[in-house]
Structure 1
Amino acid sequence: MKWIKFTLDTTTEAVDFISLMLSELGIEGIEIEDNVGLTDEEKKQMFVDILPITEVDDKTAKVNFYVDPTTDVESLLLKIRQGLNDISEFASIGRGTIDISETEDKDWMNNWKKFFKPFRIDDTIVIKPTWENLTDSKPDDLIIEIDPGISFGTGSHETTKLCIIGIKKYIKPGDYILDAGSGSGILSIVANKLGAGHVLGIDIDPVATKSAIENAGVNNINSKEWKLQDQEELPSTPITFATGNILEDDKVRSRIGKEKYDLVVANILADVIIPLSDVIGENMKKGAIFICSGIIDTKEEEVKASLEKNNFTILEVNRMGDWVSFISKK
């Protein structure tokens, strides 16, 4: 069916107030367009190392929302305009104009899935979305099923491929693995399938932790969430996922274990890998392997210098497109 689309021209100052007002009117799922730059915290959580290009922030914003065609549009507009009038008493609402148009019904949350198809990492590792059928599998294929949900990391990105290739080359049976910035859990799952003794995936986003546990289950792997603030010991499940900041929280690094891991993998921003290399060595055994990716080629020398400064011996530098992965040894 078709939906009625409203586009409200306003200011970034008023966006939060307008969002609350629309929510109180029973409108959900609003869409905000603005040129506000990303915060440092948002950059840390991004999967890629290239930030979106935006125009100069002129403090304007558009708020889009959709209603059923049976809605009494005149009555709704009256309420919205009254709400805008109330907001204008303590915040600038800018133009405050409302444009109305019609749009086709879309599954906004799932529309992206049509672009995510099964693909091969190499001759034997296949990444398959949970909603797709695999038609060209081989008897010796290692098939990983994944549903990234709203967390990052489908496996199709070059940086993830570089990490998987590195894990496959350097993992040894029974190894203890730390997946720093585990996202959807794809690297943790791959490490388990390749023979890890235990994998701990840790991410600063609790939504990612939930998604990773679900993806482990899809792949018939028993996993559990480890709440770092509790006193319980590390669960004995093949994979454990936790929410915490290993970069900035000394207590988290102590909690997950010093000199414990045979291999650490981090597929995150170069600007996070650089400070991470200052501290992650304390969680690694002597001779352990550190695989890091998510590094745009313009950041290669900075990451290299940081690894060498922290006494990592660089074993390999691998590239795919504009992306770089370092494999180093403690």
Structure 2
Amino acid sequence: MSFLELSLTLHARQQERVELALEDLGALSITLRDADADTPDERAIFEPGVGELPLWNEIVLDALFDSAADRSGLVHALHELVPGLAPDRFTFREVEDRDWTRAWIDRFKPMSFGARLWIYPSTVAPGADDADKIIVHLDPGLAFGTGTHPTTALCLEWLDATDLEGRTVIDYGCGSGVLAVAALKLGALRVIGVDNDPQAIEASRVNAERNGVADRIDLHLPEDFPRRRENILVANILAGPLADLAPLFADCVEPGGLLALSGILQGQEGELLVRYAQWFDDLAVAVREDWVRISGRRRG
């Protein structure tokens, strides 16, 4: 099996934001190199720990994806998530098989979201002291979302703080299925997951099976999505699609039902608040780093 490597050159100040975006887009491994070295052999490889910054002003960032990843889709999503990236600084190449996923997993540690919810990788087994935790077992994979990106974290924290008992949740843009699985483990009766990427549908199915909730999740491509009104809708995608899909989302949430939207950069929330105010009340904004979550309640 081969992989697709995306390389881009950027300034050190862009590194954290680009790295978070790539992780949320499903990167299996991310490494950094000194862009100012004279030859490739002189470019030291650097894998920073949490909160650490690279040592160089100009960086070459290499991210590995599954070989079937959509190149143009990755570039478009990166431009949405990190405006200002120069398109002429993107390059792609095929690389040979290595156990990149295992190396990523070895760096992936348990993370908490809210009062009860945790995400554990397969390399960490819950212990006797974890009995009161609600644990989602999830490894980094080939679709969006492991909880490391602020947009995913914002949605997980919202789910943890919301009464989901006996309710049906629509997860629009389900990616890895992390939000869907978390909702089911937090008490949701059923989840309807929707994604336009068949690979994401498969990732959601596999992760639901690993967590023992596959019998309570229905997965659909957008054209097969059953458009009926449900209790809760969560969508962690991008600001542009969130604006376009507003009428659909309004039709899919019952009166009094709840909505949570993320994938929104600070500065983009104003237009979305105006758009969704046509159908939703109690609109509220939460911010983590440079990212925003909007939540609200369906009018009626």
Q: Calculate the TM-score normalised by the size of structure 2.
A: 0.69
- The equivalent residue for 2:112 is 120
Equivalent positions of 1:145-156 (< 5 A) are 145-156=137-148
Which of 248, 263, 269 is the matching residue for 2:232? 263
Q: Distance in 2 between matches of 1:271 and 1:261?
A: 23
Q: Distance in 2 between matches of 1:257 and 1:64?
A: 40
Q: Distance in 2 between matches of 1:111 and 1:52?
A: 30
SS of match in other structure, 2:159: helix
Residues 328 and 167 of structure 1: CA distance in aligned 2, closer, same or farther (over 3 Å)? same
Q: Calculate the TM-score normalised by the size of structure 1.
A: 0.63
**Partner amino acid for 1:301?**
G
Residues 52 and 150 of structure 1: CA distance in aligned 2, closer, same or farther (over 3 Å)? farther
- The equivalent residue for 2:198 is 206
Residues 28 and 106 of structure 1: CA distance in aligned 2, closer, same or farther (over 3 Å)? closer
How big is each residue's C-alpha offset from its partner over 1:230-278, in whole Å with a ceiling of 9 and x where there is no partner? Answer: xxxxxxx311222x22xxx5xx4xx5132x2100000111111111113
Check the 8 A contact 1:262/1:284 in 2, yes or no: yes
Equivalent positions of 1:61-80 (< 5 A) are 63=93
SS of match in other structure, 2:142: coil
Which of 34, 40, 54 is the matching residue for 2:86? 54
Which of 248, 252, 272 is the matching residue for 1:303? 272
Q: Distance in 2 between matches of 1:175 and 1:62?
A: 43
**Partner amino acid for 1:320?**
R
Work out the number of aligned pairs and report it: 238
Q: Distance in 2 between matches of 1:240 and 1:200?
A: 5
Equivalent positions of 1:4-153 (< 5 A) are 29=3, 31=5, 39=72, 41-42=73-74, 49-50=81-82, 53-54=85-86, 56=88, 63=93, 106-134=98-126, 137-153=129-145
Equivalent positions of 1:238-253 (< 5 A) are 238-242=216-220, 244-245=221-222, 249=223, 252=224
Equivalent positions of 1:217-256 (< 5 A) are 217-221=209-213, 223=214, 237-242=215-220, 244-245=221-222, 249=223, 252=224, 255-256=225-226
**Partner amino acid for 1:323?**
W
**Partner amino acid for 2:226?**
I
How big is each residue's C-alpha offset from its partner over 1:16-36, in whole Å with a ceiling of 9 and x where there is no partner? Answer: xxxxxxxxxxx955757589x
- The equivalent residue for 1:327 is 295
Check the 8 A contact 1:164/1:190 in 2, yes or no: yes
Check the 8 A contact 1:47/1:294 in 2, yes or no: no
**Unpaired segments of 5 or more residues in structure 1?**
1-26, 67-104, 224-236
Q: Distance in 2 between matches of 1:119 and 1:207?
A: 25
Equivalent positions of 1:256-295 (< 5 A) are 256-258=226-228, 260-295=229-264
RMSD over equivalenced CA pairs, Å: 3.1
How big is each residue's C-alpha offset from its partner over 1:32-73, in whole Å with a ceiling of 9 and x where there is no partner? Answer: 7589xx74x55676798226823536xx9675656xxxxxxx
- The equivalent residue for 1:234 is none
- The equivalent residue for 2:173 is 181
Check the 8 A contact 1:33/1:62 in 2, yes or no: yes
Check the 8 A contact 2:177/2:205 in 1, yes or no: yes
Residues 56 and 31 of structure 1: CA distance in aligned 2, closer, same or farther (over 3 Å)? closer
Residues 29 and 145 of structure 1: CA distance in aligned 2, closer, same or farther (over 3 Å)? closer
Check the 8 A contact 1:46/1:269 in 2, yes or no: no
SS of match in other structure, 1:112: helix
**Unpaired segments of 5 or more residues in structure 2?**
10-70
